[in-house]
Structure 1
Amino acid sequence: MNKFAMMIAALLTAVGSSAMAQDTIVLPGEVRTYVLEQNTPSIQYEGEIVVGQPVPDVVEVHPIPDQPEYGYAVVNEKRVIVNPKTHTVVQVLE
């Protein structure tokens, strides 16, 4: 590979890495723990749940005590952290 191609590859890698870092949200540990411990029934939904997009209106968002900036839902057997004001998906827990 010539030097120009290597420089372009390095630049694209750096740009992609910084873009991914901006999309990563670090949740307080107690939010993740609380959501994983809840025995909440799963809602079945035909579509895909995507970070950055709102959950469908049929999905009930549950509050997280002492964490008003986060809520959660369980959709298609996956636990989803959402912004309770906008219902936007913040993170899907695996």
Structure 2
Amino acid sequence: MRNTIILAGAAALMTLSASANAQDTVIIRQAPVATQSTIVVPAPVETYILEREVRSVPYEGDVLIGRVIEDPVELYPVEGYEDYSYTVINERRVIVDPQTRQIIQIIE
């Protein structure tokens, strides 16, 4: 009889402690965070750009993905890949969307 009471008490304690732990769990629901999509540039495009000698153009401001490169900066086409252009700005090679002139990748 004594063993039964001990087992019942232990079972009750385990049940209560599980309930107490469940009350400590907090679920936070968050709205999705919009992030800039990642553009995967084909490896041959990067290789092509790294093999070319292009003079660096001084440019005011930070060189950042998403920045639109203004018209006076010359963009060079990537042979065989019409969706990509490149240039070198402030000693940094950048891959640019030739339609929008937006930087899509910085080659470090």
Structure showing the higher strand proportion among its residues:
2
> What residue is the counterpart of 2:25 in the other structure?
3
Structure number with the bigger relative contact order (C-alpha 8 A, sep ≥ 6) is 1
Measure how far apart 1:36 and its partner are. 0.9
Q: Which has the larger Rg?
A: 2
The correspondence for 2:74, drawn from 60, 64, 78, is: 60
Question: 5 Å matches for 1:66-81?
Answer: 66-81=80-95
Measure how far apart 1:53 and its partner are. 2.3
> What residue is the counterpart of 1:27 in the other structure?
41
Does the CA-based 8 Å contact 1:49-1:55 persist in structure 2? Answer: no
| Paired AA for residue 25 in structure 2 | K
Measure how far apart 1:27 and its partner are. 0.6
Q: What is the Cα-based RMSD across aligned positions, in Å?
A: 1.9
> What residue is the counterpart of 2:52 in the other structure?
38
Counting aligned pairs with the same residue, the percent is 40
Measure how far apart 1:86 and its partner are. 1.3
The alignment covers a number of residue pairs equal to: 84
Does the CA-based 8 Å contact 1:63-1:71 persist in structure 2? Answer: yes
Measure how far apart 1:50 and its partner are. 2.0
| Paired AA for residue 3 in structure 1 | T
Show structure 1 runs of 4+ deviating over 3 A: none
